[in-house]
């Protein structure tokens, strides 16, 4: 039985809801971030520029085409809509894009560290890796192209000195992937602080890749299949399976930051 097609108003309500959730989680503040959805006719609904995404009304959502021309709405979309449009043009399977600045994963992006350590089963299965796109000025064609190159076969990307972008078959999936990226960043930071990251053995990694493929996320997805999977020899910037128990180096300024965050977290728990 086919599911009924959502109306434009229903899509707008979902975008508004996701904006509230992002704001409540402090993934965004003030006018940060943006959300978009691709409709069946290849038109796009997107959040407006400058307004707080946690306080939007459905009638403030903008409709535009894949070239970025506004078709309906009193507001203008964010100038960063170029990243969204590039993702849609790169992958026909993408139906929603979420961009935000969750603090811990954005901290990794600022530090120039991709979230590609093989230390958490759920992340290997769901993402394979979360790459880092090089820095380009916000709202530029160069940034859009850089991000599009990463989402060509990954579902989340860190943008150096900027933030995080996730994609999905619907807006809730794209948002939930943003939550998962931030959770993994927190776990990675804690493990880094403890000074020990136990990576998977070659056999354990092979098992996880098998789970990934059976779920339809891995090689069965024609887009994911274009990029190396964790554990493949050509896989770039992934921690090698033989690096168990190796602690990543900590430059003095990073160690100071980690210690400061750790003390703040411990204080909040008491």
DSSP per-residue string spanning 201-245: PHHHHHHHHHHHHHTTSSTTSTTGGGSPPTT-TT-SSPPPGGGTT
- Where in the sequence numbering do the catalytic residues fall? 80
Sign of CA dihedral 154, 109, 104, 209: positive
CA distances from 78 to 147, 152, 250, 266, 268 (A): 16, 22, 37, 38, 36
User: How many CB atoms are located within 10 Å of the residue 23 CB?
Assistant: 20
Measured CA to CA, the distance from residue 270 to residue 267 in angstroms comes to 5
Residue 70's DSSP bridge partners are 64
């Amino acid at each position: 039985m086919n599911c009924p097609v959502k109306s434009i108003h229903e899509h707008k309500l979902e975008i508004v809801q996701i904006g509230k959730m992002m704001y409540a989680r402090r993934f965004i503040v003030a006018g940060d971030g943006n959300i978009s959805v691709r409709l069946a006719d290849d038109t796009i609904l997107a959040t407006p520029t400058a307004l707080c995404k946690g306080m939007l009304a459905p009638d403030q959502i903008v409709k535009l085409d894949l070239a970025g021309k506004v078709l309906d709405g009193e507001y203008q979309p964010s100038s960063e809509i170029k990243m969204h449009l590039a993702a849609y043009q790169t992958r026909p399977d993408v139906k929603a894009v979420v961009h935000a600045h969750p603090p811990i994963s954005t901290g990794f992006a600022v530090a120039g560290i991709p979230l590609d350590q093989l230390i958490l089963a759920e992340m290997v299965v769901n993402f394979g890796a979360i790459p880092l796109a090089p820095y380009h000025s916000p709202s530029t064609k160069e940034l859009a192209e850089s991000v599009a190159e990463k989402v060509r076969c990954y579902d989340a990307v860190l943008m150096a000195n900027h933030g995080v972008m996730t994609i999905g078959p619907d807006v809730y999936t794209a948002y939930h992937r943003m939550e998962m990226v931030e959770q993994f960043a927190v776990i990675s930071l804690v493990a880094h602080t403890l000074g020990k990251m136990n990576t998977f053995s070659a056999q354990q990694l092979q098992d996880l890749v098998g789970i990934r493929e059976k779920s339809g996320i891995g090689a069965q997805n024609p887009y994911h299949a274009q990029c190396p999977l964790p554990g493949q020899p050509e896989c770039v910037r992934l921690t090698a399976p033989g690096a168990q128990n190796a602690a990543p180096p900590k430059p003095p300024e990073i160690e100071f930051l980690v210690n400061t965050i750790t003390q703040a977290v411990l204080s909040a728990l008491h």
